[in-house]
Structure 1
Amino acid sequence: MLVRTAVCAALAVALSAGAVLAQSKAIAERKEIMKGVGAAAKQGAALARGTEPYDNAKAVQVFAVYASAAEKMPGLFPDDSKTGGETTASPKIWEDMAGFNAAMAKWGASAKAAQASVKDIDGFKTAFGEIGKQCGACHEVYRIKK
């Protein structure tokens, strides 16, 4: 009887640890992806402002990072990742998952379209500004301000 209790307790601890690791993994992945988005946004701002010489390959790469993030993010919000890991994800994501996924799809489609169409600084500035507004709108609703 004592052995069975010990085995059950060990199994419960292992399962709890697994759940915490899964939660931590999703939050860590979200954070890593958003760090990449932040770096791409910084690169894009430098190109748009002219503090870095315009390079179309770099401009296209900014949008490639955005498109990749938009594709990955919807799968990184399991129910067990609502808290912990210093997440800034708002509970509104889980309350309105369809709206969040739609925002990600729109952002991704815009980024892919920009990736394919941007050929010069003027086109980049326009697309970068429009996509930046989508980022801000999503953060306004689905991110906790700290």
Structure 2
Amino acid sequence: MPIKQPVIAAALVALFAAPALADPIEDRQALMKERGQIMRTLGPIAQGRQPFDAATVMAALEELNANAQAHDVATLYPAGSEGGDAAAAIWTDMDGFRAADERYKQGVAAALAAAPQDLDAFRASFGPAAQNCGACHESYRD
């Protein structure tokens, strides 16, 4: 029985230490890479280069919303995690960055809630979210 205690202790240490070992730069880059992939589905549809399909759009909007909600500024951009594609402006204007992130999240949630069933409705609902995404890149991405 004594051998089980060290194994359990090691498992508990690993469980609670795992979040501390996370790399915020890698985590946010992975999240943004996923976001870019989703946008590569939605963008061509919004631009009329791919046919509109309500099921495809809704599935992608659901993924985009989950991705947006997973973007936690406090966790992904702590002090000392400067670097990657993130501009220094994030840390010098954290309030502005948080506001831009919130506008994006709200725009994506609104596009999903609109449940667009045709191209015009999709463009109207997705446009603001896409604009917020681009605006954030202009100010907060190197």
**TM above 0.5:** yes
Quote how far apart the aligned CAs of 1:106 are: 1.2
User: What is residue 128 of structure 2 aligned with on the other side?
Assistant: 130
Identity, % of aligned positions: 34
2:113 paired residue among 106, 111, 116: 116
Q: Deviations over 1:19-70 (max 9, x none)?
A: xx54xx2111111111111111111122223433322122123333332233
Write out the 4+ residue segments of structure 1 that deviate beyond 4 Å after TM superposition.
Answer: none
Unaligned runs of 5+ in 2: 1-20
State the SS of the aligned residue for 1:80: coil
Which runs of no fewer than 5 residues in structure 1 stay unpaired? 1-20
Between the aligned partners of 2:59 and 2:90, the Cα distance in structure 1 is 27
More divergent stretch after superposition (129-138 vs 67-76): 67-76
Contact map agreement 1:67 1:112 (CA 8 A) in 2: yes
User: How do 1:76-115 residues align onto structure 2 when only pairs under 5 Å count?
Assistant: 76-83=76-83, 87-115=84-112
Number of aligned positions between the proteins: 121
Whether the 8 Å contact between 1:114 and 1:127 is mirrored in structure 2 is yes
User: Which structure dedicates a bigger proportion of its chain to helix?
Assistant: 1
1:37 matched to which residue of 2?
35
Equivalent position SS for 1:81: coil
- What is the root-mean-square deviation in Å for CA atoms of aligned residues? 2.1
- Match of 1:30, SS state, is helix
The answer (yes or no) to whether the contact 1:66–1:108 under 8 Å persists in 2 is no
Q: Is the 8 A contact 2:110 2:125 kept in 1?
A: no
